[in-house]
Structure 1
């Protein structure tokens, strides 16, 4: 399905992604892990054509999508939906309208200007919100919702696109552990029930092991690990994160129990990643 070959991105002489290659032959839920600056976000942005690759190719079902422009690029972005860490909603717009923005790439410009949506699309948006457990929030402004609720609205907007691939760039990085679990449960359910490919950038090892079928580890722009969650040992994690023997997986934990840990301990271990 998805074929990535020698994908490279250079910014002002600095290589952010360095000759990354991997194949995804069937819909999987894939976690991409690594410390900040490893190239994870740049990789997803190239997959979505938000950033142009310097060299290398991306193909999906035999179609080269690496250098798409204009309408062809917008069409690909409809098939390859992106979810961001900071939600990217319109704060003062109601929730259902934010979800309906997932249809913008297939609607006429005049309809977009006047905020006109078919009744079928409105019903579909509410059904998706209901599926994610937040249908009652539909008439509220997005800014009135909690962070976890806003991220579910962002997921609903992505589902309105009816995409083949969902890319999630640090979808739980700004959420508390309980909301992080709700969001990851939703992404896993979407993968299993809809058969959609999900690729999520994650900082946390426990999240990758719990939710993903496959884990790709990046360090300094390169893929240094590609395997199953069971193969993601502490030793492998040390290599991915460039940490020493004092590396603790607790530093990357999103489990609710971390709320009870002393703040000083959390700060000390978090500095490792």
Structure 2
């Protein structure tokens, strides 16, 4: 289904993504972990075509997405939805309109300018919001919502595209533990119920163990681990995180979802990034 072959992205002489290769044979929930600067976000941006690769090939269903241009590239971006750490919503726009903007590239400029949407699209947006437990927020401005609610709106916007692949770039890094769990539960349920491939950059080992079918560890732009969640031992963590992984096994197994305060969550993130 997905084949990544020798993908490299250079910024000057620095390789942000360095000769990365892996296959995903069927739709799954894949987590990518690693410290800051490991290349996780750059790889997702390459896959979504927000950034161009220096070399290599990413094929999905036998189509090399790195070679797509123009309308074909935009069609791929519609099929490969992106969820960002900071939500990327329009703050002063109502929630329903933010969700409808997931299909912005399918609408005419005039329709978009006057915020005109067919009834079928509006009903679909409301149904997606209801599925994520926030239908009652549809008429509120996005900026009035909590961080966790805004991230669920961002997920709804992605689902509005009806994508085959959802890329989530550190979707819970800025959330409190309770909302982090809600967001991760939502992504896992979408994968289980819809059969959509989900690839998520994650901060903590425990989150990867809990939600992912497969975990890829990156360090300095390269893949240093590719296996199942139960293979994420303390030794593997040291390979992925280097000196920053010299903490105890209890630290690696503490989810930010279970921590009692925002301060503790920030501490955990510093330890596990």
- Report the TM range for the smaller structure's normalisation: over 0.9
- Cα RMSD after superposing both structures: 2.0
The change in CA–CA distance for 1:206 and 1:271 in structure 2 (over 3 A counts) is closer
Q: Map 1:51-130; keep pairs closer than 5 Å.
A: 51-130=51-130
In 1, Cα distance between equivalents of 2:257 and 2:112: 42
Q: Map 1:16-27; keep pairs closer than 5 Å.
A: 16-27=16-27
Is 1:259 aligned with 2:260? yes
Contact 1:243 1:272 survives alignment (8 Å): no
1:115: Cα distance to partner? 1.6
In 2, Cα distance between equivalents of 1:29 and 1:170: 14
Aligned to 1:170: 170
Contact 1:251 1:266 survives alignment (8 Å): no
Secondary structure (helix, strand or coil) at the match of 1:66 reads helix
1:113: Cα distance to partner? 2.1
1:13: Cα distance to partner? 1.6
Instruction: Flag structure 2 segments of 5+ consecutive residues without an equivalent.
Output: none
Contact 1:35 1:241 survives alignment (8 Å): yes
1:39: Cα distance to partner? 0.1
Secondary structure (helix, strand or coil) at the match of 1:174 reads coil
Aligned to 1:13: 13
Aligned to 2:211: 211
TM-score (norm 1): 0.95
Secondary structure (helix, strand or coil) at the match of 1:92 reads coil
1:260: Cα distance to partner? 5.9
Secondary structure (helix, strand or coil) at the match of 2:52 reads coil
In 2, Cα distance between equivalents of 1:113 and 1:145: 24
1:105: Cα distance to partner? 1.9
In 2, Cα distance between equivalents of 1:129 and 1:268: 31
1:252: Cα distance to partner? 7.5
In 1, Cα distance between equivalents of 2:77 and 2:254: 32
Aligned to 2:146: 146
TM-score (norm 2): 0.95
Secondary structure (helix, strand or coil) at the match of 2:85 reads coil
Deviating more after overlay: 27-36 vs 242-251: 242-251
Deviating more after overlay: 74-83 vs 239-248: 239-248
- CA offsets 1:104-147 (integer angstroms, 9 cap, x no match): 12122222222211100000000000000000000000000000
The change in CA–CA distance for 1:236 and 1:107 in structure 2 (over 3 A counts) is same
In 1, Cα distance between equivalents of 2:115 and 2:266: 46
